[in-house]
Structure 1
Amino acid sequence: MELKDFTIPFIGLKEGKHQFDYQIDNSFFELFNFDEFNATAVKATLEFHKKQTMLELTFNASGTVNVHCDLTNEPFEQPVEGTLDLIVKFGHEYNDENEEILIIPHGEYEINVAQYIYEMIVLSVPSKRIHPGIEDGTLQSEILEKLEELQPGTEKKETKEEIDPRWNTLKKLLTDNK
């Protein structure tokens, strides 16, 4: 997979709607030196509407990315769904400061959409990645068991018996002053 695979020569397209489909896997993310996904299986579609004075692009993505759980470090399939709308206008110089409007110079005849597909997929993955087995209790993991053991409020009763007797004397001083 190469970046040029995502270049659309719109000058040769008739006015109207056109659809482009892309199968996104990890080789796509390697183009951006992005390695947070173990595996990727996402279908991205682009509805490309060519008008006389501008282009309207609607990106959609759905599929899964395999990531590590933030709590247990267990890998799991994270579903992703994303959409992105982009209007491309023609102007004197290139300008991508507005995230919804791209201005390209008059005379341009093609556009590369890889960056927009990349951003749409990466932003559709939750920032906190939690294995679904944690929520429904089906995940069995040593890390998860250790986290539950170390959770505050689950102190063992044995620790109460092992209190140093000097602390009891200090506690008595606090209660005597009331």
Structure 2
Amino acid sequence: MKPLKEFTIPFVGLKIGKHHFDFEIEQKFFEHFEYEEFNSVNVQVDVVFEKKTTLLELHYKASGFVNINCDLTNEPYNQTIENEFDLVVKFGDEFNDENIDILIVPHGTFEINIQQYIYELIVLAVPIKRVHPGIENGTLHSDILEKLDELSPKLKENKETNEDIDPRWNTLKKLLTDK
């Protein structure tokens, strides 16, 4: 994948100390990664880049919203996201990104591309189960919700159901009460 130029930080000319970078992430960024889960994106990522004599420290902070579809009703809604991540960049003999929090780049490297870390920061901030807030508070009315309610199994409180139970289960239920 070709790196995006705006997410490459040339640190060789920077002074030792903290530097701030702000990024506006929109849908075009995720199209570059061929990620199609989001309908629209509006996320601000603030990166505090601290250059030290032997290493680099990056602190990522993302906040904003992504428009996604609900898992139950497929209705689009804005999911607020907040996430932070710290990364330490060290210099070594060869490139190594096996550790989550530490990136080792070869000596002589003069720039670092952070687009992959921003991508992962935002994608991992979205909850696994995506439920429209209108479902939780009862304000969302949709045909899909009505159909789900209609097709969900109902508990019968009739005594007829007790008679239809296999008698072997009754014997097993006695084991629960015999202690």
TM-score bracket, shorter-length normalisation: 0.7 to 0.9
Matching residue of 1:147 = 148
Matching residue of 1:40 = 41
Matching residue of 1:106 = 107
Q: CA RMSD in A?
A: 2.1
| Pairing 1:91–2:92 present | yes
Which AA in structure 1 matches 2:60? F
Q: Distance in 1 between matches of 2:30 and 2:153?
A: 40
Q: Distance in 1 between matches of 2:115 and 2:32?
A: 9
Matching residue of 2:177 = none
Q: Return the index of the structure with the highest Cα Rg.
A: 1
**Secondary structure of the residue that 2:124 maps to in structure 1?**
helix
| Pairing 1:134–2:135 present | yes
Q: Distance in 2 between matches of 1:94 and 1:149?
A: 57
> CA deviation digits over 1:56-113, x for unaligned, max 9?
0000000000000000000000001111100000000000000100000000000000
Which AA in structure 2 matches 1:145? E
Matching residue of 1:65 = 66
**Secondary structure of the residue that 1:86 maps to in structure 2?**
strand
Matching residue of 2:19 = 18
Q: Distance in 1 between matches of 2:128 and 2:14?
A: 38
Q: For structure 1, which runs of at least 5 residues remain unmatched after alignment? A: 164-169
| Pairing 1:56–2:70 present | no
Percent identical residues: 58
User: 1:55 deviation in Å?
Assistant: 0.2
User: 1:154 deviation in Å?
Assistant: 5.6
Which AA in structure 2 matches 1:99? I
User: 1:9 deviation in Å?
Assistant: 0.2
Which AA in structure 2 matches 1:95? N
Q: For structure 2, which runs of at least 5 residues remain unmatched after alignment? A: 172-179
Q: Distance in 2 between matches of 1:119 and 1:37?
A: 14
Q: Distance in 2 between matches of 1:45 and 1:109?
A: 21
User: 1:4 deviation in Å?
Assistant: 1.1
Q: Distance in 2 between matches of 1:145 and 1:112?
A: 48
User: 1:149 deviation in Å?
Assistant: 1.2
Between the two proteins, the alignment pairs up a number of residues equal to 162
Q: Distance in 1 between matches of 2:102 and 2:32?
A: 24
Q: Distance in 2 between matches of 1:90 and 1:31?
A: 29
